[in-house]
Structure 1
Amino acid sequence: MADELTIEVLRTTKALNRIEPEWDALALACGDRSGFCRYPFVSQSWARHRTDARNRLSILAIRRQRTLVAIVPLMKRSDGYGPSTLKWLDSKTPLYDDMLLAPDEDLEAVAQQVGRYLRNAWLVRKLKAEFVLAGSNADRLLSRLGADAQSNYNAYAARVEGYASWDEYLLSRSARTRAAYRRLHRRLAELGEVRIDIVSDTSELEAAIAWIFERKRAWVHDRYGRENWLSPAETESFFRTVSGSLRERGDAFAISMTCGGACIASMLAFRNGATLYVSKMAFDPAWGKFSPGWLLIFEAIKVVIAQKMNNLDFMIGTEPWKDRSADHSREVLQYRLKLPVFGAFGR
């Protein structure tokens, strides 16, 4: 029942740090649904926002009796004078916005408590979330709260399940795809030894992330002629710090391809349960005719099969290699919920 639930609003970094053990336990219980709501992602997201004096932490920690059963990661942003806006606490990058919800918890009861909190919030005009994956817990919660949704993006993925081995998977692809894969590898081998490395050592992983970001920034400049969310050094620092926190448990690593000792393509990947997320990928344009990015996706599929996962998530955005590799897509929604500015007194 909703009345058995209580909400604690985490308003300080100290309060956020205090709850880390409980947070980790809840994320572990959530399994595949914990996604980018694991503690390293959210704590480092707040580290990016807290330097702006207009931002205030407002994470909702929801308990049934004394047990933590849900977390809704929010922050409050003041636009100067007047009412504030509640926003999903994002990383300033297009990672999915979501929440943690214990598998046996009643979402309807949680939604009632969150709705009650929002309706009584003082001088808050609306709630915003930018990158909500259709079917996620955040999507279900915001729908129950009556928020308006708009579909702005698609997220692409490939199901990789039911294959006993990489060879079995490759045989399931078309003859044309198999021939192209083998031909490209042969052409690369003519120029030097081709190596695929799973990179998780701290210094090597940091070097791989630096390599990826250097090339991604150049790609952004060449394609758009201006900077975007990927360009600031703080973005690279965010992914480096989160990766450092997750790598020891095998949930963050890079997959790098070299030819003759030169790195030609690399990706940063995050594992969560049965899903491998391709977070960042880059290749050296000088090797573009060998389709190294496409070949690297096959290496990620090898990892998925070897580690008995079943889904490869290419995240938000459209790219030719995603069209070539994905077998389904999902909507990514933007949500807006208007709130009574004066809380309960405004009704």
Structure 2
Amino acid sequence: MPAAPPQADLMTERASIIDWQDVPAAAWDELARAAGTANPFYTREAVKACVALPEAQRPQVLLVWQGEMLAGALPIAIKRVRGLALCVENWDQRVRALGEPLVRPGAEAAFWRAALPELARRPGQYLRLSALDPDSAASQALFNILREQGRPYYHTRDYARAVLHAGRSSAEHAAEHVRGKVLKEHRRLRARLADRGALVFDRLSRGDAVDPWIDALFSLEQTGWKGREGVAATADSATEHCFRAILRAAHADGTLDFHRMSVGGQPIAMLTNLECGDEAFQLKIAYDEAWASFSPGVLIEMEYLAYALDRRGLRRVDSCARAGHPMIDRIWPERRRIVSLAVPFDNAFSRLLCLGQDRWRARRVDRSATIQGIAA
């Protein structure tokens, strides 16, 4: 029997914060693959792509080392209001759907014990951690340490989004979660599409050129509501560069999962996912609104359901969608909870500031509930 690995929180850790470009590339890449909670939005290539976004600050990265091994990493930035440092926060921009740190399994407590004092030395009045999974090992370790130290923390946002879990076949999933009448309608729509031309669902192969697929995806997105509202990937050159770089990098390292639905050789829906081991994260979906009456977005998601559960055997797929999404919530009934936190530093001013903000948020919620009650 192999010897048990040493307990991570009994080893000596050292924490540092450096510019993202100075992080050793090989160590960052290896940690991203080994992390206990997968997060494709904090990989080196994702950060490299997203720094081009106009709202993105230049990030630094909190590193926690155990000997020569990188045990954890978290991109961070300083949020400023009128030039004053308000808080230290995990790095955020429009592409990021998850803010979990990259931490090796078993090193979660050691990571936070080393990280919290280092973060407290940065400019800012408190620590803001957004888009965390409260059930992850890293989050649970953080909560335990804060409780041990008698330090409060406050939820600033709490919602749940659609997620797909393994454990059943796609047929079993559909029978359990999608009404028979709806499944019958899906079959009817597919038959109608097949009458217009060959209905083909295919997937980008590792050896195929990715740029033509990216161009087709961006074209579909631009013709829809995202194009009309100016939030498509091609809305500006920085956003297009960011998404193109993410997709190219993922294709190069074999983590891009790119699906296409065509009728008579014409793409009418496309779906991209970023895979991390046995997990996947949906990055973009687009369809041609000229075919909207055929529900191409739903049909490609149902086809992907069969791929993810029956052929790929993924453990979890995160929709990365907003709460209450009108389409994906209907076919993926399971949820992943996402929270954002305000964590005071260990001093009186920081505690009072976070407590005051929490009470102000509570009053806003109460006022909103009262107004809604009157309107009803």
Bin the TM-score by the shorter chain.
0.7 to 0.9
Question: What secondary structure, in the 3-state scheme, does the structure 2 residue paired with 1:234 have?
Answer: helix
Whole-Å separation in 2 of the counterparts to 1:308 and 1:229: 31
Give the letter aligned to residue 321 of structure 2. Answer: I
Give the letter aligned to residue 130 of structure 1. Answer: S
Distance verdict in 2 for CA 1:170–1:334, change over 3 Å: closer
Establish whether residue 117 from structure 1 lines up as the match of residue 115 from structure 2: no
Give the letter aligned to residue 266 of structure 2. Answer: A
Whole-Å separation in 1 of the counterparts to 2:165 and 2:31: 26
Give the letter aligned to residue 308 of structure 1. Answer: G
Q: Larger deviation: 3-12 or 207-216?
A: 207-216
Establish whether residue 311 from structure 1 lines up as the match of residue 316 from structure 2: yes
The percent identity for this pair of structures is 19
1:177-209: CA deviation from partner (whole Å, max 9, x where unpaired): 442232111111111001112125688533333
Whole-Å separation in 2 of the counterparts to 1:160 and 1:328: 11
Q: 1:7 aligns with which of 7, 12, 15?
A: 15
Question: What secondary structure, in the 3-state scheme, does the structure 2 residue paired with 1:60 have?
Answer: strand
Matched-pair contact (CA < 8 Å) for 1:120–1:343: no
Matched-pair contact (CA < 8 Å) for 1:5–1:63: yes
Whole-Å separation in 2 of the counterparts to 1:46 and 1:341: 33
Match for residue 282 of structure 1?
Answer: 286
Give the letter aligned to residue 298 of structure 2. Answer: W
Q: 1:147 aligns with which of 143, 153, 161?
A: 153
Q: 1:212 aligns with which of 205, 217, 237?
A: 217
Establish whether residue 233 from structure 1 lines up as the match of residue 237 from structure 2: yes
Match for residue 331 of structure 1?
Answer: 337
Distance verdict in 2 for CA 1:2–1:59, change over 3 Å: farther
Matched-pair contact (CA < 8 Å) for 2:36–2:104: no
Instruction: Report the CA distance between 1:77 and its aligned residue.
Output: 4.4
- 1:76-87 matches, within 5 Å, as 76-79=78-81, 81-83=83-85, 85-87=87-89
Match for residue 136 of structure 1?
Answer: 136
Whole-Å separation in 1 of the counterparts to 2:37 and 2:153: 25
Matched-pair contact (CA < 8 Å) for 2:77–2:91: yes
Whole-Å separation in 1 of the counterparts to 2:192 and 2:276: 35
Whole-Å separation in 2 of the counterparts to 1:94 and 1:336: 19
Matched-pair contact (CA < 8 Å) for 1:266–1:283: yes
Match for residue 299 of structure 2?
Answer: 295
Whole-Å separation in 2 of the counterparts to 1:134 and 1:297: 27
Instruction: Report the CA distance between 1:69 and its aligned residue.
Output: 0.8
Distance verdict in 2 for CA 1:142–1:108, change over 3 Å: closer
Whole-Å separation in 1 of the counterparts to 2:73 and 2:20: 15
Whole-Å separation in 2 of the counterparts to 1:100 and 1:330: 18
Question: What secondary structure, in the 3-state scheme, does the structure 2 residue paired with 1:135 have?
Answer: coil
Give the letter aligned to residue 134 of structure 2. Answer: A
Instruction: Report the CA distance between 1:339 and its aligned residue.
Output: 3.9
Q: Which has the higher contact order (CA 8 A, sep 6+)?
A: 1
1:224-251: CA deviation from partner (whole Å, max 9, x where unpaired): xx44586433223222212211213431
Q: Larger deviation: 139-148 or 90-99?
A: 139-148
Q: Larger deviation: 66-75 or 314-323?
A: 314-323
Give the letter aligned to residue 135 of structure 1. Answer: D
Instruction: Report the CA distance between 1:48 and its aligned residue.
Output: 3.7
Match for residue 359 of structure 2?
Answer: none
Give TM-score, length-normalised by structure 2: 0.76
1:268-320: CA deviation from partner (whole Å, max 9, x where unpaired): 11112222222111111111111111110122123212122132321121332
Give the letter aligned to residue 255 of structure 2. Answer: D
Over the residues paired in the alignment, what is the CA RMSD in angstroms?
Answer: 3.2
Match for residue 70 of structure 2?
Answer: 68
Matched-pair contact (CA < 8 Å) for 1:266–1:282: yes
Question: What secondary structure, in the 3-state scheme, does the structure 1 residue paired with 2:94 have?
Answer: coil
Establish whether residue 195 from structure 1 lines up as the match of residue 200 from structure 2: yes
Q: 1:26 aligns with which of 31, 35, 53?
A: 31
Instruction: Report the CA distance between 1:332 and its aligned residue.
Output: 1.9
Give the letter aligned to residue 57 of structure 1. Answer: P
Q: 1:41 aligns with which of 35, 40, 46?
A: 46
Q: 1:322 aligns with which of 324, 328, 346?
A: 328
Alignment coverage as a number of residue pairs = 331
- List gaps (5 residues or longer) in structure 2: 1-8, 147-151, 351-376
